[in-house]
Structure 1
């Protein structure tokens, strides 16, 4: 049985694009996912490339995203802006 990872390496750019495509502001998505807007901005900028499972699952649910579309590819380095 697969064990849940302790953190997920997320793709901030993909999260930002998905949020914008959904027509959501940072504050709206943060509230829907139960995280702070500051934390979400750091994720989208690539300052925080990892998320704990609970926060990641809540973000995925808020964006109606599949299991992998918000994850960074294993070989991709975190993107810094």
Structure 2
């Protein structure tokens, strides 16, 4: 069994695009993902690029992405382990 990475490197522009496509404000998406609005803003603007597994999973769920989706990961990142 493969170990879960310590952090995921994410694509902020893709996060923003999917959030807007889902019709969510920054505040709504952050609340759904149990992260701060400021942290989500920093991810979307590229100031932050890494997320811990729990936050990553909750944000992916808040954006309506399936568990096996790698859509918000940067291409160099290995896909997350299926849960």
**TM-score scaled by structure 1?**
0.89
- For residues 4 and 24 of structure 1, what CA distance do their matches in structure 2 show? 28
- For residues 23 and 61 of structure 1, what CA distance do their matches in structure 2 show? 14
Equivalent residue of 2:30, what SS? Answer: helix
Structure 2, unpaired ranges of 5+: 78-83
Aligned residue pair count: 75
- For residues 37 and 68 of structure 1, what CA distance do their matches in structure 2 show? 22
Which residue does 1:60 correspond to in 2? 60
Which residue does 2:73 correspond to in 1? 71
Which residue does 1:19 correspond to in 2? 19
- For residues 32 and 5 of structure 1, what CA distance do their matches in structure 2 show? 23
* Moved segments of 4+, more than 2 Å: none
Q: CA RMSD in A?
A: 1.1
**TM-score scaled by structure 2?**
0.87
